[in-house]
Amino acid sequence: MQKDKCSHLWEMINVASGLIVMKKCFHCGKVSTCFTFHDRPPLEPCHEERHFWNFMESDPSFHFDLKCSKCGELVKLGELVGLMMCTGCDETCEVCVLKQELEPGGVRVCIACGGRPIDERKQLPEEKFGVLEEYLEQRCRTLKSKIKVVPHDMVRNMGRCYAEVVKDVEMLFAAAPVVE
């Protein structure tokens, strides 16, 4: 991604539906997350290096890339597994604490989920995370809603997180009610 003088106007492209899939290794206990472009979850166990993954759950979601409509710059978000809205399920979680701080102003907290295990999967680089934030902020300004995007490594325990998976674009930009 080149840094130029363009004041980017990002748009979603290559939008495709699929599933966020969670698996757990019965050998080491780690949780794996990935996005699949299929509408059926992979239910059969699989072996990958030292892991023996068993299907846990899946949620419908979507995948996309971003492109600047002014300069044509393309940002592929292949490392992004999905987006989730924090529901405040764990008061000891950094994301939940942030949600409680921002909620009175009508700001929703969105978790940008990457592949897990974090130490074994390629993660969304900082510059791509910045573009994703810029896009969501840009969209929210025009829709008069607010979203704060956080990386998934802020989630205390992803295996026990009850954040709501963003299933489609409309759900992502629905305005949150202001808490008074």
**Residue 81 and residue 35 in contact, taking contact as beta carbons nearer than 8 Å:** yes
Provide DSSP, 39-90. SS---S-EEETTEEEEEEEEEEEEEEEEEETTT--EE--TTEEEEEE-----
pLDDT at residue 176 is higher than 70: no
Give the residue from 21, 15, 120, 124 showing the smallest Cα distance to 79: 124
**pLDDT for 118-148, tens place per residue?**
888 999 999 999 999 999 888 887 667 788 9
pLDDT digits (tens, 9 = 90+) for 60-118: 999 999 999 999 999 999 999 999 999 998 889 999 999 999 989 888 899 999 998 88
Q: What tens digit of pLDDT does each residue of 16-33 get?
A: 999 999 999 988 989 899
Whole-Å CA distances, 117 to 78, 90, 156: 16, 20, 14
Amino acid at 111: I
48 pLDDT band, cuts 50/70/90, is confident
Strand 80-85, strand 164-165: pairing = antiparallel
- Enter the pTM of the model: 0.84
Going by pLDDT thresholds of 50, 70 and 90, the confidence category of residue 170 is confident
159: pLDDT strictly greater than 80: no
Nearest CA-CA partner of 85 in 148, 3, 129: 148
What residue type is 61 in one-letter code? S
